[in-house]
Amino acid sequence: MTWTLWRGDDLLGALHERSVPKPLQPARQDVHHVNAVLVADPVRLPLPSVRQHAVEWAGSRTVMERTQEPARARDRARGAGPSGPRHGVWVVSSGPGPPPPGVPPDRLLRVRDEAGRVVPTRYVSVLEFRPDPAHLPRELATLPEGAFVGGSVWLAAFTQDSDAPAT
């Protein structure tokens, strides 16, 4: 399957699916989760690292976004984790209240299939990974041409929403 990643109306690049070791695969077999390497359009680089996920709020769907710091191999080797909270905090009230602010359409990440149809997703992420230049992993040799740029690789992941048709 061939996919492309878009932010609003801007093509970010092509997604090349990568296999994931079995222990890291989703536990639920009814969830189609894809891990990929993004071969980005060079004019779009650098890309911010973000996670976007859809939430249902008072009968409507809102896409929320959380920015992330790029992942650095040196930080992982030292055992340093990401800074800040990993999950959002939600205020609980008895009334429906206003929906949380969603991602504006011009920043919304969308996956498209080879026919150009939007693939319905519940989750889309882009993460910049910076390998340690002194110890480059052998896996870099297996990446598609154009995936390793300026010392970084952009990793992408998405979970298809099986409840919605492609558009």
Task: Report pTM.
Answer: 0.79
State the CB neighbour count (10 A cutoff) for residue 115.
7
Predicted pLDDT of residue 67: 93
Predicted pLDDT of residue 167: 47
- Spacing of C-alpha 135 from chain mean position: 25
Predicted pLDDT of residue 115: 95
Per-residue pLDDT of the chain (167 residues; tens, 9 = 90+): 789 999 999 999 999 998 765 544 455 555 688 999 999 999 999 999 999 999 887 778 889 999 999 999 876 555 555 555 555 555 566 566 666 678 999 999 999 999 999 999 999 999 999 999 988 888 889 999 999 999 999 999 999 987 765 54
- The strand pair at 33-40 and 152-160 is best described as antiparallel
Predicted pLDDT of residue 29: 55
Comparing C-alpha atoms, which of 3, 31, 7, 32 is closest to residue 15?
3
Predicted pLDDT of residue 99: 60
| DSSP string covering 31-66 | --EEEEEEEE-GGGPSPPEEEEEEEEETTEEEEEEE
* The token pair that represents 148 in the structure block: 């390793």
**Tens digit of pLDDT for each residue in 1-32?**
789 999 999 999 999 998 765 544 455 555 68
